[in-house]
Structure 1
Amino acid sequence: MNIEQEMGINMERLKIGSWIIEVDNSKTQAFYEKQPLITEEWDSDFEQNYVLACETFPKEVNDFFHSLGVDPRKQGEVNQYKENNDGTYIYGGFYFIVGNIISGPDFWVNTVEGLTPNFETVNGIQIAFTNELAMTPDEELPKPVIQLEFQLNVPWLLN
């Protein structure tokens, strides 16, 4: 048994897009199991719609979230940005993950227009990873913690 196993660290190394990350799926999943649905803390129409839409995400999107231990319906930051021409909406936000970034591009890139997010499309979702947490999770999350940033198109399902 190595020292990491003795400390209860169960990191799996993943290559996702341009990033190589280590993730403790079971600790991340345990964190999300204790979290409320997004709509229990914030009850806007766009958040209600997002939680409903999570059930209709393509398999590849749900598989992506679950491979990291994330339940996308649960505590995180979710925003609705704009309506697309096809009637879907661009949603974005972030989730916390127990893990490390081994290598990969920075999330923010300095351009002529200023700082621009550096998303890559993976499994039908725009994603990026960062060590810079936008806020502290309400409940203690085992360390180390990284942040998954995302954007994706979501259908409007509310009446």
Structure 2
Amino acid sequence: MTEFVFGPYRLEVDVEATRAWYDRYGDATGGCDCAYCRNFTAAVETLPPEVGEFLARLGLDLRRPGDASECGPVEGGRLYTPLWHLAGRLLEEGEEPLLLAQGVKAWFATGQGPFLRDFPEPFFQCGLELTLPWVLAEPEP
């Protein structure tokens, strides 16, 4: 286990177990092929590199969340809230999300449900709130 401190959050992560699960089972947006999920997969490349680097330290891939929800139009694009599970423990939870880059917030929590097949226990979640541009050639639904 590796301990991380990000602002008010303190976590203990089994980085290798997390990475191994996503390498085996992880599929960008859970395999959904809707326009919003395809746009997420394409548009995350427009984010500043520090967002992907933050997740990579934890054994996560920005392009392969366990779940990605599209929450509607906002200024500058579409609001998305991708979620990843991490093998380990959330030792201290913050009350406010972390600002990773302009328009990108991160948070950690427990209790989002063990909906991922064979995910190592104990576990907790990492979520992002971010705005992505519409980059697909097709019009927004």
TM-score (norm: length of structure 1): 0.76
Q: Which has the higher contact order (CA 8 A, sep 6+)?
A: 2
| C-alpha distance after superposition, 1:138-158 (max 9, x if no partner) | x21222111112211112110
- Work out whether residues 70 and 95 of structure 1, in 8 Å CA contact, stay in contact via their aligned partners in 2: yes
* Change over 3 Å in CA distance of 1:45–1:63 after alignment to 2: same
Q: Matched residues in 2 for 1:74 and 1:93: separation?
A: 9
The residue correspondences of 1:79-94 to structure 2 (distance < 5 A) are 79-86=69-76, 88-94=77-83
Count of equivalent residues: 136
- Work out whether residues 98 and 144 of structure 1, in 8 Å CA contact, stay in contact via their aligned partners in 2: yes
Larger Cα Rg: Structure 1 or Structure 2?
1
Displacement of 1:46 after TM fit? 0.6
2:31 matched to which residue of 1?
41
Cα-Cα RMSD? 1.9
- Work out whether residues 38 and 74 of structure 1, in 8 Å CA contact, stay in contact via their aligned partners in 2: yes
- Work out whether residues 13 and 20 of structure 1, in 8 Å CA contact, stay in contact via their aligned partners in 2: yes
The SS at the match of 1:34 is helix
1:7 matched to which residue of 2?
none
Q: Matched residues in 2 for 1:35 and 1:57: separation?
A: 24
The SS at the match of 1:95 is strand
TM-score (norm: length of structure 2): 0.85
- Work out whether residues 20 and 103 of structure 1, in 8 Å CA contact, stay in contact via their aligned partners in 2: yes
* Change over 3 Å in CA distance of 1:14–1:77 after alignment to 2: same
Uncovered stretches (5+) of structure 2, i.e. residues with no partner? none
